[in-house]
Structure 1
Amino acid sequence: MLRHVVLFTWSEDATEEQRATVAAKLGELPGIIPQIKSYVMGKDAGVSPGTVDFALVADFDSAEDFLTYRNHPAHQAVITEHINPILAGRSAIQYTWQG
């Protein structure tokens, strides 16, 4: 299994509507890209200071399946149209694990 974890920090001028749209559009991807085995995301709960704004964790059977997701036109459209306009920072990692 390959796990993809991405953490986002939104720009100061990002609206709640824009943030909600990102979550909604990302949430549509499991129905479009069958290589996604698990897909969970959420905004920061506001419990601790110094955190990022939004996290996504996705699981794939293989690196090839992740690359299909990464390069998929629907995923790329979400990035271009909804994430990049409000993005202040991003960190990501992909690692293998036993599921």
Structure 2
Amino acid sequence: MSFTHVVTFSWTGDAAEDPAVVDGIADALRRFIADADLPGLRSWSCGRDAGIATGNADFAVVGVFDDVDAFAVYRDHPEHRRIITEQIAHRVGQRTAVQFAG
């Protein structure tokens, strides 16, 4: 059994207008994943929407964890929280998320 976290963002402001801003967010998140000790993280990816369908969100993050506790370590990690506060939260027009076991 695993626990999967999926979050999507639709950007506003500079993130919606400047691809370099979103690239910086993706780079910061990828560095966090590469550098953090996150026991129970099975896989993690993020990326910009491919643009092949209308109405999609602009960006997604998908993480697969051993269990809810491993997800909570990721969710609450200080570096993750810092990136959200400093680079993501003020640029989000809409956010959706789902977590599921399976």
Q: What is the match of residue 30 of structure 2?
A: 27
* CA drift at 1:85: 2.4
Q: Which runs of 5+ in 2 are unaligned?
A: none
Cα distance between partner residues in 1 of 2:101 and 2:49: 25
* CA drift at 1:16: 1.7
Alignment of 1:1-99 (within 5 A): 1-14=2-15, 15-31=18-34, 32-35=36-39, 36-97=41-102
Q: Which runs of 5+ in 1 are unaligned?
A: none
CA contact (8 A) 1:11 1:87 kept: yes
Q: Deviations over 1:23-63 (max 9, x none)?
A: 00111122214232200111111101111000111011110
State the percentage of identical aligned residues: 35
Does the residue aligned with 2:23 lie in a helix, a strand or coil?
Answer: helix
Does the residue aligned with 1:45 lie in a helix, a strand or coil?
Answer: coil
CA contact (8 A) 2:5 2:63 kept: yes
Aligned length: 97
Q: Give the structure-1-normalised TM-score.
A: 0.90
CA contact (8 A) 2:38 2:73 kept: no
Q: Give the structure-2-normalised TM-score.
A: 0.88
- After superposition, the CA RMSD in angstroms is 1.2
